Chains A and B, each alone.
Chain A
Amino acid sequence: MNLHEYQARELLRAAGVPTPEGDVAATPAEAEAIARRIGGTVVVKAQVHAGGRGKAGGVKLAATPAEAKEQAGRILGMQIKGLTVQKVLVVPAADIATEAYVGLIVDRESQRPLLMVSPAGGIDIEEVAAKTPEKIFKLAIDPRYGLMPHQALGLGFRLYADVAQARAAAQIMTTLYGAFMANGASLAEINPLVTTPDGRVLALDAKVSIDDNELDRRPDLAALRDESAEAPAEVAARHAGLTFIKLDGNVGCVVNGAGLAMATMDLVKYYGGEPANFLDIGGSSNPEKVVNALRIITSDSQVKAILFNIFGGITRTDDVANGIKTALAQFPVKVPIVVRLTGTNEAEAVKILQGIGMTALSDMDDAVQKIVALAREAA
């Protein structure tokens, strides 16, 4: 789960990472009040889960509180990459002497939190990593010992020659690591970490992602989720215990298991169709999940045909068949449906489907070829 910049800032600030003052506003008047409190020139920043905010016009300077109000009025409600801006962050326009990068991520290879720092921070950090990898310094932290003081200071000196600044950076890294582990983050990034002309070291922008598996035991973190920042169908799917990602095609797919779901989409493409979505109903198959899956898929008017691909293991195929039966009794589905199912309780499932005048295929390739042809006829 990605946090907004203002949430990430608050999380790091609460842990003790120095950040410039500032606050979040949902209305132009609030933005004006924050700008007045800060004094001087401020930056008004759109809070959306999308990169390239600046290029989209979502980050603006404002010299006066009145200007901050005006800019906030322009940015609030703006669409950036399909997402509506609901909030803006108002921070002082910092005088920047240098920009560095500090990031922490779960590293699959070392199976440890990997700390990465670079004196060449800022928006071009990926280019720095690709072209001048010697400017990126990495350390896999052993979670048994944590980030040791000499390690942090060593990396601090990679960023700054000045000992006071190196110590300040080391302290920030140590605090960042603590917050990363304490909040079950999968990513925590300060970019840029700046020095000001008077020598202070500050986190100017922060990104934090929380491991989704952490949210069950951390209601405080789960409460940070901003559903207005997500596609409505994906929110509905999550509430129904489904994983759903919308795509641009017209063949709706309902599958059990993420790997098989991806392979099904790939096969739709292989036979000349375009998948409309990724949808994984997960391992256990209560019929209600299938009803919700069909409701979500049929709400997409682009969908011309729907394919079920179920390989029963823990998932009972008769549960899926019952879900289809229940759904069709509850609401009309106007597009053709093709069902492929095999595995646990297949015979019962076939009987249930026959009872409502449907047939079931047992071969995945047959089913995909059929659904692609039906989608093409309907398009």
Chain B
Amino acid sequence: MSIFVNSATRLVVQGITGRDGSFHTRQMLDYGTRVVAGVTPGKGGQKFEEKVPVFNTVAEAVAATGADTSIIYVPPAVAASAIAEAADAGLKFIVCITEGIPVVDMMKVMPFVRETGARLLGPNCPGLISPGQAKVGIIPGNICAPGRVGLVSRSGTLTYEVVNHLTRNGIGQTTCVGIGGDPIIGTNFIDVLGAFQADPDTDAIVMMGEIGGTDEQKAAAFVKAHLTKPVIGFIAGQTAPPGRRMGHAGAIISGSSGTAAEKMAAFRDNGIAVMERPVDVVRLVRDSLGK
């Protein structure tokens, strides 16, 4: 098993003929992901790599191919619209890789996404991979291996670093999920932690956070209240300089400075084993599983 995507996932790629979209679609096809359709307005009727049909709209792609999941690689100015289009076409899982979407656009599109019942992952995220089943996004397939550890992270390359340590030491993964680092994201730590808790094939969870905001503290409280599986945590940014913040609103709203020390303490207080270094993940996961 796995969460969110698996070998049955039928994927439509929005922006399939673009520079990033075409490159990563080839990688996903090579990995074995079932890419059933692509969308680029004006290129409907073409075939990508002589096998994936391209449509003008997501609705046409869904009607013709039965796609159930979308991945978005379109430029930031049109990305929020692409998210809305996917939700409107009835897709229930939408992954947005695009970096640099204006926050105002995201605030406007999120209520619509929620109304349709779709789950958005990202934006500004590396997507996710269920090793051996499906890669939806840009996480390199060769550093992952099938197994029983779930991983959720706010960052990209730092995730690769940790997954790589796990795989090299014989610890495979059910699913690795990058939730993205933007202020407005569709899926947060708590959503993914809940999904891993419900997945019978996930035995332990690795959670990788960063400085800023209070999502990690809330996730830590959620772990204590709702999870029975062991959780191992990491926070990047212990040496990051205090943000040159402006105005008072940020401090008023959270009452928190969002430092690494504060987040690591929240992890420890809620029974999460804290990694000091990325490499510690191997020892802590082994300890948590008693092997």
Interface residues of A (CB under 8 A from B): 2, 49, 51, 101, 103-109, 111-114, 116, 125-126, 129-130, 133, 136, 138, 142-144, 181, 184, 186-187, 189, 191, 207, 209, 211, 213-214, 216-217, 245, 247, 255-260, 262-263, 265-270, 275, 278, 283, 311-315, 342-344, 364-365
Contacts and interface: CB of A to CB of B under 8 A. Distances in A.
A129 B255 contact: yes
Contacts of B247: 103, 187, 189, 191, 207, 209
B277 A259 contact: no
A142 B161 contact: no
B259 to A, nearest CB: 12
Interface string B247-258: 111111101000
Given A211-B104, A365-B277, 12 more contacts: A107-B253, A112-B107, A126-B251, A181-B104, A213-B100, A217-B77, A257-B157, A257-B158, A283-B99, A311-B164, A313-B126, A313-B138
Interface residues of B, number: 59
B199 interface: no
16 contacts: A108-B213, A113-B107, A116-B253, A126-B252, A143-B111, A207-B246, A214-B103, A217-B77, A259-B156, A259-B236, A260-B236, A263-B236, A270-B276, A283-B156, A364-B279, A365-B279
A269 B276 CA distance: 11
A53 B110 CA distance: 39
A311 B236 contact: no
Query: Which of A112, A114, A278, A314 has the largest count of B CB atoms less than 10 A from its CB?
Result: A314
B157 A260 contact: yes
B215 A213 contact: no
Query: Which of B159, B161, B236, B248 has the largest count of A CB atoms less than 10 A from its CB?
Result: B248
A364 B168 CA distance: 14
Interface stretch (B10-18, B54-62, B84-92, B237-245): B237-245
A270 B276 CA distance: 8
B100 A116 contact: no
Contact of A263 (B101, B111, B161, B248): B161
Contacts of B183: 106, 108, 186
A315 to B, nearest CB: 8
B76 interface: yes
A312 B183 CA distance: 26
Interface string B166-208: 0000000000000001011000000000000000000000001
B76 A257 contact: no
Query: Which of A107, A108, A211, A216 has the largest count of B CB atoms less than 10 A from its CB?
Result: A108
Contact of B184 (A108, A138, A257, A313): A108
B211 to A, nearest CB: 7
A51 B241 CA distance: 16
A365 B278 CA distance: 9
Contacts of A269: 238-239
B252 A116 contact: yes
Given A216-B76, A270-B277, A111 B249 contact: no
Given A259-B210, A268-B239, A313-B126, A136 B246 contact: no
A143 B251 CA distance: 23
Given A142-B111, A143-B108, A266 B236 contact: yes
B158 A114 contact: no
A266 B164 CA distance: 19
B122 to A, nearest CB: 14
Given A189-B249, A260-B155, A364-B279, A344 B104 contact: no
A130 B278 CA distance: 35
Contacts of B277: 266-267, 270, 365
A7 B103 CA distance: 21
B126 A259 contact: no
A144 B236 contact: no
Contacts of A126: 248, 251-252
A28 B239 CA distance: 42
A344 B249 contact: no
Contacts of A259: 153-159, 181, 208, 210, 236
A49 B252 contact: no
A54 to B, nearest CB: 15
Contacts of B253: 105, 107, 114, 116, 138
A138 B249 CA distance: 11
Contact of B161 (A49, A214, A260, A315): A260
Query: Which of A101, A263, A265, A365 has the largest count of B CB atoms less than 10 A from its CB?
Result: A263
B101 to A, nearest CB: 6
B103 A186 contact: yes
A211 B126 CA distance: 22
A213 B76 contact: yes
Query: Which of A108, A258, A259 has the largest count of B CB atoms less than 10 A from its CB?
Result: A259
A342 B184 contact: no
A219 B240 CA distance: 31
Nearest to B20: A314
Nearest to B209: A259
Contacts of A245: 241
Contacts of B244: 49
B152 interface: no
A256 B246 contact: no
Interface string B134-166: 000011100100000000011111111100100
